[in-house]
C-alpha cells in the first residue's frame, strides 16, 4: 500500500502478474469514492473487489478518491499505467467506478457531483491520452463498469452520439447494496477477463446472483459497424487463433467476439 496525496486519498496497488494467453492483458482499474463513514468502517466495495480479483488472477489496481480532483488524479494514474503497457503487453482497460449515484450523476466522498456529461468528457480525455480511440474516433477502446446506484443510467452518455466514451457499459438499474455489487462484478470479471465470455452473458450471470433483473449492459448503437475493416479482420483472425489453441490446449478459454477490442 502506498499513500497518495490529501486530494486523492489512499491508493492501493499490487504487482500485476502476466496472465494473458493472447498478447493483450485485461486490467480492471478500480476508482472508489464511498461516504467517509463507510470508508472508516471498512464498508467499501473496492478493497474487497481488489482482493478477490487478485486471488482469482485478474489484474487490478485500486484508488480511493475524495472528490473530483482526486478522480482526475486517478484517471491520470490510469493513463500512465496504460501507456506503460503491461510487461510489454498492451492493456485492455476496464474502468470500474464504485460510488454513490443517482439517475443523473455520481456522488463522491466530499459531496462533489459528477454528471454523466462530465464523466463522458473525462473518459474521452483518458482515451485520447492513451491512444485508445477507434479508427475514425467513433468510440473509446475501453470498458466501463458503474458500480453505483442507478449506474445503468450512465448510458445517457451515449445520447450525445459519437465519439462514445466507452465500447460498453455495465451498471445496476436500481439502488444496490455494495456487497451485492461486489459479488456480481467479481463474477463478471472472472467470466469476462479469464474465460472471455461476452459481456451480455456475464450480465445474465450477475443477475442470477442478484436474484432479479438488477444489472444491464449497454453499447453504442451500431458499434459493430464502427470497427474498421482491418479491425474486423484482426478480430476474426484472433477468434480463429483462439479456436486453434483451444483444440491444442483444452484448458485455454474459448473464443468470443468480445475478447479483443483492438
**Dist CA 245 CA 259 (whole Å):** 14
98 grid coordinates:
464504485
pLDDT at 138 over 60: yes
What residue segments make up the domains of the chain, in order of their start?
Answer: 2-225
Beta-carbon contacts of 252 under 8 Å, excluding residues fewer than 6 positions away, are 21, 242, 245, 246
Burial class (CB in 10 A: 0-12, 13-18, 19+), 5: exposed
When pLDDT is cut at 50, 70 and 90, the band that residue 3 belongs to is: very low
pLDDT at 44 over 50: yes
**pLDDT, tens digit (0-9, with 9 covering 90-100), for 151-176:** 999 999 998 889 999 988 999 999 98
- Kindly report the pTM of this predicted structure: 0.77
178 grid coordinates:
455494495
Work out whether strand 25-33 and strand 91-101 pair parallel, antiparallel, or are unpaired.
parallel
Strands (DSSP E) found in the chain: 2-3, 10-12, 25-33, 60-64, 91-101, 105-107, 113-115, 143-147, 168-172, 215-218
Question: What pLDDT, on a 0 to 100 scale, did the predictor assign at position 39?
Answer: 78
Work out whether strand 10-12 and strand 60-64 pair parallel, antiparallel, or are unpaired.
antiparallel
Question: What pLDDT, on a 0 to 100 scale, did the predictor assign at position 208?
Answer: 93
CATH topology of domain 2-225: Rossmann fold (3.40.50)
When pLDDT is cut at 50, 70 and 90, the band that residue 23 belongs to is: low
Q: Smallest Cα–Cα separation from 214: which of 189, 183, 193, 256?
A: 183
Amino acid at each position: 500500500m502506498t499513500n497518495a496525496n490529501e486530494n486523492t486519498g489512499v491508493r492501493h496497488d499490487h504487482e500485476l502478474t502476466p496472465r494473458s494467453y493472447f498478447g493483450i492483458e485485461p486490467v480492471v482499474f478500480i476508482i472508489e469514492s464511498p461516504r467517509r463513514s463507510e470508508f472508516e468502517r471498512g464498508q467499501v466495495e473496492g478493497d474487497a473487489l481488489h482482493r478477490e480479483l487478485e486471488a482469482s488472477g485478474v489484474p487490478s489496481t485500486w484508488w480511493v478518491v475524495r472528490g473530483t480532483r482526486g478522480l482526475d488524479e486517478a484517471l491520470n494514474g490510469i493513463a500512465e499505467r496504460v501507456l506503460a503497457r503491461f510487461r510489454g503487453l498492451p492493456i485492455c482497460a476496464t474502468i470500474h467506478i464504485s460510488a454513490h449515484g443517482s439517475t443523473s450523476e455520481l456522488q463522491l466522498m466530499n459531496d462533489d457531483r459528477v454528471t454523466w456529461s462530465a464523466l463522458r468528457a473525462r473518459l474521452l480525455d483518458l482515451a485520447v491520452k492513451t491512444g485508445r480511440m477507434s479508427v475514425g474516433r467513433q468510440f473509446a477502446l475501453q470498458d466501463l463498469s458503474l458500480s453505483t446506484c442507478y449506474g445503468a443510467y450512465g448510458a445517457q452518455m451515449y445520447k450525445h452520439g459519437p465519439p462514445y466514451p466507452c465500447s460498453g457499459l455495465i451498471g445496476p438499474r436500481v439502488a444496490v447494496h455494495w456487497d451485492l455489487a461486489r459479488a456480481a462484478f467479481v463474477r463478471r470479471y472472472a467470466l469476462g477477463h479469464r474465460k472471455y465470455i461476452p459481456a451480455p452473458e456475464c450480465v445474465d450471470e450477475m443477475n442470477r446472483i442478484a436474484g432479479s433483473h438488477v444489472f444491464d449492459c449497454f453499447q453504442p448503437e451500431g458499434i459493430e459497424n464502427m470497427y474498421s475493416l482491418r479491425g474486423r479482420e484482426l478480430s476474426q483472425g484472433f477468434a480463429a487463433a483462439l479456436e486453434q489453441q483451444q483444440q491444442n490446449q483444452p484448458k485455454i478459454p474459448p473464443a468470443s467476439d468480445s475478447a479483443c477490442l483492438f
